[in-house]
Structure 1
Amino acid sequence: MGLSSFSGYLRLQLFGYVRARRTGWVVAAAVVGALAGCRGDTPYVVPTGPMPANTVLLSQMMQELSARPGFTEAMLAQLNDGSKRGPALLTPKLIDHMRQLILGKDWQGLNRFPGWTMREINPTVRVVSRVAGGAASTKDLAAYVDLGPYALERAERVDLDVASDRPGFSTVGLTSALGDGVVRGDGADPAIAPMHAESQRLAEVLNRLALNGLDGAAVATASVDGRTATTPEAMMQSLVASGHEVVVSDARYFANFGHFHSNGQDVMMPFWVNSQILVPHTRRALLVPVSHAEYEWTVRGPKINADVAWYFGIDGKAEFRTMDELNQPWVLGRYAHTYRGADAVEVTRLTGRMMVAYAHLHQAHPELPFGGYYALGVCQDSVAAIEKKMTGKATLFPNTADDALFDDARDAEVNALIAAIPKDRTGRMPEPERIFGSLPTTELAAITIPGLTADLVSVQEAWQDGTLRRTHGREHWIVVALEIAGFVLAMGVAFWLWRRSR
């Protein structure tokens, strides 16, 4: 009970006392009212609807299938397969937590899985870090960068005037069936998958050109319309000079935790993190789905039509890659920033420098699990670092890179960029600007994850009018202290009324 609600309540009690000052009912009403007002909110029930068309919640799928022998373990094994584009921040402890929720039929908990703060997630990753990193732990850069047919130790000459000989889009290796009508993996995006052959070759060429920056690498060159380049940024300049339009976009989506489909329906599966911001008029923390961030290059012109992306992923790869699978509609998507001309060239240059820095990090720290994912940052870190260089602000959450690992003097520029962005490894309370900046839409009503829009609207209003509270902030504890004081005062008044009625 806050002070305003308590003062109103106290006036009612005194009015009642005037009307019935010798009755014991005033005492009962005072005590019951005080206790009812101070014992907290009604337990929150996680909404399960409304849902977008052709979509089910993970909890709905598991309610139907978890009783099938072996299905739960098969699903968890798929999630734990780091060779696929896996879920954000997954650790054995989180896998066990999900298993417990499913076996305990805690469907509400599953709908906000895991709902932990970054401070709670961090130790689970440290435990994994004390164990061998697994198959991806190697100094061989071929495990971390897709170079296609181009070798680091061999000078390469690529003529982009010749059509790509790469195969078209295929779901081979991208999808797998778990049985009972459940498939993991997504099909082709009809808008960009037809360009897959050109996109794949362009990604491989950009990767190889970026790694020209490694000590000892043979020099690779790529040409288009007679213009030759030896760096990714020079490649973009050559494309523009030869009549191509090049746009670089800072793209943001809700991270798809599972990429599951059940009997033809999309399975909504976010990964929820506790923001440590209180939802106004409740005692709940705002839980937000982790977002995915990447840079996307759109190239259109007389010789090349391609779409490529760049980010540091759960596969341990910081590289240019194709991203032409069809997103499930609930992940949404927006461009926080769009770059053309010299700015597009600069973003391309910075991503190339990031690639070289991550190559050095992989060689220096092959023991890191998940190919360094989390310790060296998640997808947001490198995007946020470049965003801050380009715009002066970093608006992504969470960032997890350990600054101490970015210590190679050869990568001083990248080290400084990573050091300049806020980190969330130790559980710092993120700025609301980063919470809302990470969202894949600025239209909160467009979000189709049940219950999220209402919480975000409420928090945004509190942020804008200056009444936002943290779950562990100074203002929060002041309000809690006032609520306790109000309860004690209410009990004192109730006792006084009782004594007077005697």
Structure 2
Amino acid sequence: MRPTHKLALLCTLMTSTGCRHPYVVPEEPMPPNTILLSQMMRELSAQPGFTDALLAQIDKGGKKGPALLTPALIDELRKRILGKDWQGLDRFPGWTMREINPTVRVVGHVAGKSPKLEATAAVHPGSPATTEAAKQFLDLGPYALDKSETVDLDRPSTLPGFTTDGLVTTLGAGVTRGDGPNDLAPEHAESQRLADVLNRLAANLLPSSTLFAAKVQGRVANSPQDLIAALLATGHEVTVGDARYFANFGHFHYQGKDVMMPFWVNSQIVVPHSGGRPLLIPVSHAEYEWHIRGPHLNADVSYYFGIDGKSEWRTMDTLDQPWVLKRNAHEYRDADAVEVTRLAGLLTVAYMHQHDARPELPFGGYYALGVCQDGVSAIEHKMTGRVTLFPNTADSSLFSDPRDAEINALITAIPKDRTGAEPEPERIFGSLPTAPAASADQAFNAITIPGLADDLNATYKAWQNGTLERTRSTWSLVLKILLALAFAAGAFVGVRKLRH
């Protein structure tokens, strides 16, 4: 085969597997009062010290941070900013889970024992012995582990109202990080007390805890689920939503505008008619949300395992930027609401056992013990028999404490994304904070991140009609090219022999 023929064949193969002209990331249309991260950094990256200050803020995590930023990811982000790779910045990092996982494992070996080595260690038989030790990973408010008391929820909360103190940071140059109040903020005092009470009731299962109780209209509860049952019995409406959002990577604002900062992951799915370009999706944030309305208590709290290493109930009264959207994949009431509460309480205790047994896990165990999706996935699997979230990262081998047998089994049952296996489309689309519309061509048009709705509409339609394709690794591409070249060369030699 002549060199020109080989080159033509190589180009054809490269085109068929995705190596066409580079994809230009759209920058419009944008939601009102919103700009891309690249737009902010175009203007500010030249200011001495600003990039490092911004990266330091991101590295601290956030209420709904999508993923921990390992040193490798921080370095990658810095390179894109300093190299003025604005296209890459608006799809950062765009890696597969197979590429992200090793960066986390490296940190694990540096910061403490590796999860695999930890899994072989004997589980510590105790639990946090003091309130101060427990509060490192469980917010208890004014309540203590070693003090027995009964909180009367019929009385108004005496906690302070909503404040942005500690939530909003000014970086200068017109940039702030953090969000103000949403429409639930007026109930902050009641919501904060409820979150503290639910956490403290869950902690009753810790061996070092004395008995704690909450009372509603004379009904005494000693566990989170008993409290929800008591609220239902006293005329309160309780709804528990399985909520999904796009995770906000930064919670930044620039000159009064929201800064759009998703954290992108390669789904290993091909966008149809794109020449093989992979579908990149923003990582979602998942949590359970309790909305309580009634004659004695009005409050709203959420549960998830966060980047702070805390598996617990929290308030949910800060304002989300409009582009993150929101969807309740499931809603639970009555006995189902009680059951979801019970499972969340068991997860809270299981993670406290993990912190006690493995204090050296980096990031408070975040990633090794799962991310926000894992606990929600575990409960979703118990309640519906399905899992519709991606990614899940918990190392099942770490969940071996016999006191947490039910949670261990639930974590083991959910699909994992630690090895980089191709995630099921149901989990890719199920993680999104908007449900597909009736028309497959316009299924995700509610999404306002530039370019994403078009990609999702095309891939969702392909999934529905059975034409969805998966991406292949670089090595698979090279192997395909080499095999094709070998086949072509063999055919060429065969033709020459026939001619002679």
TM-score, length basis structure 1:
0.87
For 1:210 and 1:376, how far apart are their aligned partners in 2?
19
- Structure 1 match to 2:396: 403
- CA displacement, residues 358-386 of structure 1 (integer Å, 9 cap, x when unaligned): 01001001001111100000000000010
- Structure 1 match to 2:242: 250
1:131 Cα shift? 2.9
For 2:74 and 2:260, how far apart are their aligned partners in 1?
18
1:477 Cα shift? 7.2
Alignment check: 8 A CA contact 1:272 1:289 kept: yes
For 1:400 and 1:464, how far apart are their aligned partners in 2?
27
Alignment check: 8 A CA contact 1:85 1:315 kept: no
Out of 206, 209, 221, the residue aligned to residue 198 of structure 2 is 206
Identical counterparts, % of pairs: 65
Out of 382, 396, 402, the residue aligned to residue 375 of structure 2 is 382
For 2:445 and 2:32, how far apart are their aligned partners in 1?
16
Alignment check: 8 A CA contact 2:378 2:410 kept: yes
- Structure 2 match to 1:331: 324
Out of 408, 411, 421, the residue aligned to residue 418 of structure 1 is 411
TM-score, length basis structure 2:
0.87
- CA displacement, residues 47-78 of structure 1 (integer Å, 9 cap, x when unaligned): 11111110000011000000011110000010
Which of 275-284 and 354-363 deviates more?
A: 275-284
- 3-state DSSP class of the match of 2:30? coil
For 1:310 and 1:143, how far apart are their aligned partners in 2?
17
In the TM superposition, 1:80-229 aligns within 5 A as 80-82=59-61, 86-132=65-111, 140-189=133-182, 191-229=183-221
- RMSD over equivalenced CA pairs, Å: 2.7
The alpha-carbon distance between structure 1 residues 488 and 307, as it changes in their structure 2 partners (threshold 3 A), is same
The alpha-carbon distance between structure 1 residues 439 and 85, as it changes in their structure 2 partners (threshold 3 A), is closer
1:411 Cα shift? 0.3
- 3-state DSSP class of the match of 2:291? strand
Correspondence 1:356 to 2:335: no
- 3-state DSSP class of the match of 1:253? strand
- Structure 2 match to 1:469: 469
The alpha-carbon distance between structure 1 residues 279 and 465, as it changes in their structure 2 partners (threshold 3 A), is same
Alignment check: 8 A CA contact 1:223 1:229 kept: yes
Alignment check: 8 A CA contact 2:61 2:68 kept: no
- CA displacement, residues 7-54 of structure 1 (integer Å, 9 cap, x when unaligned): xxxxxxxxxxxxxxxxxxxx9x99998676444222211111111110
Letter of the 1:447 partner, please give it: I
For 1:482 and 1:336, how far apart are their aligned partners in 2?
45
The alpha-carbon distance between structure 1 residues 479 and 222, as it changes in their structure 2 partners (threshold 3 A), is same
1:479 Cα shift? 12
Alignment check: 8 A CA contact 2:66 2:283 kept: no
For 2:431 and 2:487, how far apart are their aligned partners in 1?
39
Letter of the 1:107 partner, please give it: W
- 3-state DSSP class of the match of 1:145? coil
Alignment check: 8 A CA contact 2:445 2:453 kept: yes
Out of 215, 224, 230, the residue aligned to residue 232 of structure 1 is 224
For 2:177 and 2:208, how far apart are their aligned partners in 1?
40
For 2:136 and 2:302, how far apart are their aligned partners in 1?
18
- 3-state DSSP class of the match of 1:445? coil
The alpha-carbon distance between structure 1 residues 39 and 149, as it changes in their structure 2 partners (threshold 3 A), is closer
Pairs aligned (count) = 463
- Structure 2 match to 1:22: none
For 2:38 and 2:179, how far apart are their aligned partners in 1?
20
The alpha-carbon distance between structure 1 residues 280 and 270, as it changes in their structure 2 partners (threshold 3 A), is same
For 1:86 and 1:455, how far apart are their aligned partners in 2?
24
For 2:177 and 2:63, how far apart are their aligned partners in 1?
10
For 2:149 and 2:279, how far apart are their aligned partners in 1?
51
For 2:60 and 2:66, how far apart are their aligned partners in 1?
10
- Structure 2 match to 1:449: 449
1:126 Cα shift? 1.2
The alpha-carbon distance between structure 1 residues 131 and 83, as it changes in their structure 2 partners (threshold 3 A), is farther
Alignment check: 8 A CA contact 1:330 1:447 kept: yes
- CA displacement, residues 273-312 of structure 1 (integer Å, 9 cap, x when unaligned): 1111111222211111000000000000111100000000
The alpha-carbon distance between structure 1 residues 241 and 270, as it changes in their structure 2 partners (threshold 3 A), is same
Correspondence 1:293 to 2:286: yes
Alignment check: 8 A CA contact 2:62 2:250 kept: no
Out of 63, 68, 86, the residue aligned to residue 42 of structure 2 is 63
- 3-state DSSP class of the match of 2:220? strand
For 1:173 and 1:446, how far apart are their aligned partners in 2?
33
- Structure 2 match to 1:6: none
- Structure 2 match to 1:283: 276
The alpha-carbon distance between structure 1 residues 451 and 236, as it changes in their structure 2 partners (threshold 3 A), is same
1:80 Cα shift? 1.1
For 2:5 and 2:209, how far apart are their aligned partners in 1?
80
Alignment check: 8 A CA contact 1:291 1:438 kept: yes
Which of 248-257 and 282-291 deviates more?
A: 282-291
- 3-state DSSP class of the match of 2:163? coil
For 2:390 and 2:480, how far apart are their aligned partners in 1?
28
- Structure 2 match to 1:433: 426
- Structure 2 match to 1:11: none
1:89 Cα shift? 2.8
- 3-state DSSP class of the match of 1:90? coil
For 1:194 and 1:131, how far apart are their aligned partners in 2?
44
Out of 309, 312, 316, the residue aligned to residue 316 of structure 1 is 309
- Structure 2 match to 1:16: none
Alignment check: 8 A CA contact 1:79 1:87 kept: no
For 1:348 and 1:339, how far apart are their aligned partners in 2?
10
Letter of the 1:392 partner, please give it: G
- Structure 1 match to 2:123: none
1:88 Cα shift? 1.4
For 2:343 and 2:149, how far apart are their aligned partners in 1?
23
Letter of the 1:348 partner, please give it: T
For 1:486 and 1:163, how far apart are their aligned partners in 2?
79
For 2:346 and 2:180, how far apart are their aligned partners in 1?
32
For 1:464 and 1:244, how far apart are their aligned partners in 2?
41
The alpha-carbon distance between structure 1 residues 97 and 293, as it changes in their structure 2 partners (threshold 3 A), is same
Letter of the 2:177 partner, please give it: R
1:81 Cα shift? 1.6
Alignment check: 8 A CA contact 1:87 1:258 kept: no
For 1:461 and 1:479, how far apart are their aligned partners in 2?
30
For 2:463 and 2:62, how far apart are their aligned partners in 1?
40
- Structure 2 match to 1:241: 233
- Structure 1 match to 2:119: none
Letter of the 2:448 partner, please give it: T
1:234 Cα shift? 0.5
For 2:400 and 2:346, how far apart are their aligned partners in 1?
14
For 2:471 and 2:482, how far apart are their aligned partners in 1?
15
- CA displacement, residues 307-343 of structure 1 (integer Å, 9 cap, x when unaligned): 0000000000000000110000000000000000100
For 1:310 and 1:235, how far apart are their aligned partners in 2?
15
Q: Which runs of 5+ in 1 are unaligned?
A: 1-26
